[in-house]
Amino acid sequence: MTPSANMNVMIKAARIAGRSLIKDFGEVENLQVSVKGAGDFVSKADLRAQSIIKEQLLEARPNYGWLAEEEDGEIIGPDPTRRWIVDPLDGTTNFLHGMPHFAVSIALEHKGDIVAAVVYDPAKDELFHSEKGQGAFMNQTRLRVSGRRSMIESVFATGIMPTGGSHLTQVLQDLGRMIPATAGIRRWGAASLDLAYVAAGRYDGYWEYGLNPWDIAAGVLIVREAGGFVEPMTFGGDLMGGDGVICANESLYPHLCKALGRKTEAR
């Protein structure tokens, strides 16, 4: 597949920001032993990555809008139908604690639809990318969701907000149902990579409550283009509106919904 001009712009931005994050990550590893910790330094690393991405994307496409996590409010561009949705550092807690599992997430939305996506894990140099209708890839390799059909053989990921947030009771109830019914649950702390790993068939499914658009915009397209089902965690809710996410392959999706007590849409 030949990447579009937009995809080339996105990949370039993700790689440059990824290099900056890796440089800062080296410093964070040194700061682990200090009493003050790496908190302030990480905030700066996050902002540095964001400004690199912003400069790259808005310079190449000055007409597009911009929505990013570390920014106050959204920029509506001269072309109001297109906007970038960016999380410059997804997996901040991992980064802060010196754990190499974090990503840059960049999505391009057109008329409310995500049409191109990049999730880049710079520590492992894994670049997950997809354009609508063109399939999903990790570096040059085409991705496909897993083919497993049985819950007990499947590994699922979830996410839990720091301190548990307002969903803590629900999360604990879900874990109580899922742990005995599956081959295992992972909670690795980077939603964009959780989705990318479902697309790659590493996880068989993933669910999480209450995410922001920048956490999932890119990953959702990558899962769909790899053949997976993705819906809001709240039945009938809004995927980009904070209603969480649930995803799996076609066979497991209804079983996952059932195990989590979520209504399934008629298909």
Q: Give contact residues for ligand IPD (rule: CB under 6 A).
A: 87, 90-92, 159, 161, 189-191, 208, 211, 215
| Structural contact between residues 259 and 233, judged by C-beta atoms closer than 8 angstroms | no
For residue 87, the SS3 value is: strand
- Nearest approach in angstroms of CB 211 to Ca ion is 8
Question: Taking CB within 5 to 8 Å according to partner kind, which of Ca ion, ligand IPD, none is near residue 204?
Answer: none
211 binds, among Ca ion, ligand IPD, none (CB under 5 to 8 A by kind): ligand IPD
* Sheet with 205-208: strands ordered across: 184-186, 155-158, 205-208, 245-248, 229-231
Of 156-215, binders to Ca ion (CB under 5 A) are 215
Contact 85, 218 (CB under 8 A): yes
Q: Residue number with the shortest CB distance to ligand IPD?
A: 159
Rule CB under 5 A: which of 77-106 touch Ca ion?
87, 89-90
Q: Where are the alpha helices (DSSP H) in the chain?
A: 5-31, 39-60, 92-96, 168-181, 191-199, 213-225, 252-259
The reply to whether 109 sits near Ca ion by the rule CB under 5 A is no
Q: Which lies closer to Ca ion via its Cβ, residue 65 or residue 219? A: 219
Of 157, 152, 145, 114, nearest to 250 (Cα)?
145
Residue at token pair 């497993």 = 148
Total number of residues binding Ca ion (CB under 5 A)?
Answer: 5
**Of residues 20 and 92, the one with the C-beta less far from ligand IPD:** 92
Q: Out of ligand IPD, Ca ion, none, which partner does residue 91 contact, by CB within 5 to 8 A per kind?
A: ligand IPD
Measured between alpha carbons, how far is 192 from 26 in angstroms, rounded to an integer?
Answer: 22
243 binds, among ligand IPD, Ca ion, none (CB under 5 to 8 A by kind): none
Residue 105 interacts with, from ligand IPD, Ca ion, none (CB under 5-8 Å by kind): none
- Smallest separation (angstroms) from ligand IPD to the CB of 208: 6
50 interface partner picked from ligand IPD, Ca ion, none, CB below 5 to 8 A per type: none
**Cα 246 to Cα 211: distance, rounded to the nearest angstrom:** 11
What is the x/- site pattern for Ca ion, positions 20-59, by CB under 5 A? ----------------------------------------
CB of 2 to ligand IPD, least distance (A): 31
Question: Which of 74, 79, 78, 82 minimizes the C-alpha distance to 10?
Answer: 82
Q: Interacting stretch for Ca ion, rule CB under 5 A, among 1-9, 17-25, 66-74, 164-172?
A: 66-74
170 touches 209 (CB < 8 A): yes
| Residue 89 or 108 having the CB closest to Ca ion | 89
Amino acid identity of residue 244, one-letter, is G
90 closest CA partner among 117, 55, 72: 117
Give the closest residue to 104 by CA, choosing from 88, 93, 125, 83: 88
Which residues in this chain contact Ca ion in the complex, by CB under 5 A? 69, 87, 89-90, 215
